[in-house]
Amino acid sequence: MNKVVIDVKNIGMRFNMSTQKVDNLKEYVIKTIKKEIKYNEFWALKDVSFQLKKGERLGILGLNGAGKSTLLKILAGVLKPTEGSYSATGRIVPLLELGAGFEKQYTGLENIYLYGTMLGYSRDFINEKLNEIVEFSELGDFINVPLKNYSSGMKSRLGFAIATVVEPDILILDEVLAVGDAKFKKKCEKKINSMFDKGITVLFVSHSLPQVQRICNRAILLEKGKLIADGSIEEVSALYEEKTK
């Protein structure tokens, strides 16, 4: 149980925010010649390091703009950090804004295959788990209706059902449990809890402190892109509460 699954070393993420937006060739050429393109450097993350062992459930706390989502995007492999490196072992499944990869024209059923393969599952695997996904999403006959007619709750139920059917090694949760009705929320938490028993590693971002305290056993606190605290959930959430006062 003491295997390090995520190793983040001195990660920094820089964004160049150009003062004027340049998106056509003419402007670009003229401004490059005149040396008029100026960038404001902005470090969303600076020198962040931590290690996560198998089975640890890390809450990432911080105020708006602290760099929480940027960190999760780097860990999910979507963004490449400007400096530093990180390594992760095992299958990572990100649950960032449920249903981002859905196609509106497609029915729920077709979307299961589209979204499932996007997460790297094989077709056979999805065939095998199809019933389980449909059942968990509670969509019933709506599974054959185009997604554009779904309510947002239905979409997130489907997204959650697809993403969690695999039992990943590392699960990344970004504010996702804020959607759906209370009953479904409970069901999701139950599902996540059942995965904990199997030794899953979790990274969780939420502004709801009680929820973080319920799910996580360790936390880090970010402020303006810097890691300012790393420790047990009790210590860090006390510090966070002080900051939000």
Which residues contribute to the site for another protein (CB under 8 A)? 15, 23-26, 28, 73, 76-80, 94, 96-97, 100-101, 103, 105-106, 110, 113-114, 117-123
- CA contacts within 13 A on the Cβ side of 128: 7
In the chain, the N- to C-terminal Cα span, in Å, equals 37
Asked whether 221 and 67 are in contact (CB, 8 A), the reply is: no
Q: Which is nearer to another protein, 50 or 106 (CB)?
A: 106
Q: Which is nearer to another protein, 76 or 219 (CB)?
A: 76
Q: Which is nearer to another protein, 176 or 229 (CB)?
A: 176
Gyration radius of the chain over CA positions: 20
Q: Which is nearer to another protein, 76 or 154 (CB)?
A: 76
Question: Least distance (Å) from another protein to the CB of residue 239?
Answer: 30
Question: Least distance (Å) from another protein to the CB of residue 64?
Answer: 19
Question: Least distance (Å) from another protein to the CB of residue 84?
Answer: 14
Question: Least distance (Å) from another protein to the CB of residue 138?
Answer: 23
Helices 123-137 & 152-164 angle (0-180, nearest 10): 130
Phi/psi of residue 41, nearest 5 degrees: -75, 140
Q: Which is nearer to another protein, 77 or 153 (CB)?
A: 77
Question: Least distance (Å) from another protein to the CB of residue 119?
Answer: 7
- CA contacts within 13 A on the Cβ side of 28: 4
Q: Which residues contact 202 (CB under 8 A, 6 or more apart)?
A: 56, 57, 58, 170, 171, 172, 173, 192, 196, 215, 216
